[in-house]
Structure 1
Amino acid sequence: MHKLLALSVVVICVILTGCASPAQVSNMRATVITDQAQMPSVLRNDVYIDYISGGKGTNPLWTSQVSQGDFRQALEQSLQSAGLLTPSQTGRYRLDANLDGLRQPLFGTSMTVSSKVHYTLVDTRDNKTVYEKTIDTPYTAAFTDALMGVTRLRLANEGAIRKNIEALIRDLQAMNVSHLAL
């Protein structure tokens, strides 16, 4: 009888709190992208993504996460929209990214998640690093964004990754590329 009661309590808790769902690529893509003409011409359509590491899959019984593959897709789509991504793996600039992690709360009415990604941009002509930076960006999903905590956490994950990619694109746009134009 006690086992049935305990199982019932667990089932009711899962129903009330919901199951964790993975971050959605469409919500992680950079949304604030400037005009492609404002990107340094030396980088336009000449960046390819090579090595992506970090990230992990979501366990529905635990917390929402960002997988390595979903992070790659969001980064590719964002760089494509910014006019930086080359359609092949033969671009002059190789971008590597390591999703060092997400700092997530366990619970709360507003959920703030910080994403930490280390980016390295290498000129493949001479194998020199032209940009290297760890970007750490927070994003808060408010209680009004979603009533269920697991949904707020997913929204905060997606927002933190989106803001991180947007910061990368702003950095690349502002980069001094005079020494690259060879």
Structure 2
Amino acid sequence: MDSVRSDRDGTRSRIPVALKILIAGGFGAGKTTMVGSVSEIRPLQTEEVLTGVEGADDTSGVEAKRTTTVTMDFGRITITEDLQLYLFGTPGQDRFWFLWDELSQGALGAVVLADTRRLADCFPSIDYFEQRGTPFVVAVNCFDTERRFGAEAISRALDLDADVPVVEFDAREPLAARNVLIELVEYVARRQLLAAGAR
């Protein structure tokens, strides 16, 4: 899984494997927050103030939101000395969907953030990854004042395949966000093992 190189002094050092992960979901679901909370480097964020143009952004359920991602968020996290994840947060509004094909090239998989206040907003992300055969997990961002639903209820509401993991987490908590990423990597590994066994 990892590469080994020889340094000038003759010592051997490992080159960690870098995997690309997409962080997707609807407008205001917590994508920028997740990337920012878990990244070990200062994240690149392309946040701009909402336009205020009527009909441009539906803020129902997220009335306090004042900014939006217009290109992507980027962060990095080291899982082990042999494994680094590069995180690309996608823009949430329909008018920025033309960026998704570029961002998704070479991605190992995706985390689809779900906000139970606006659950239907994650359907386009789920459809996108299902149509392209990209493995994904659904991470339900738990907001303090909102009613919580079990993973099974969320899975049924989103009409997910039975094997797609649904996890609850708080995007503001680095450890919780890290655990979601680990869940995705493990899910992708399980799928690859099953595919190899079926050959």
Taking structure 2 as the reference length, the TM-score comes to 0.27
Q: Which is greater in Rg? A: 1
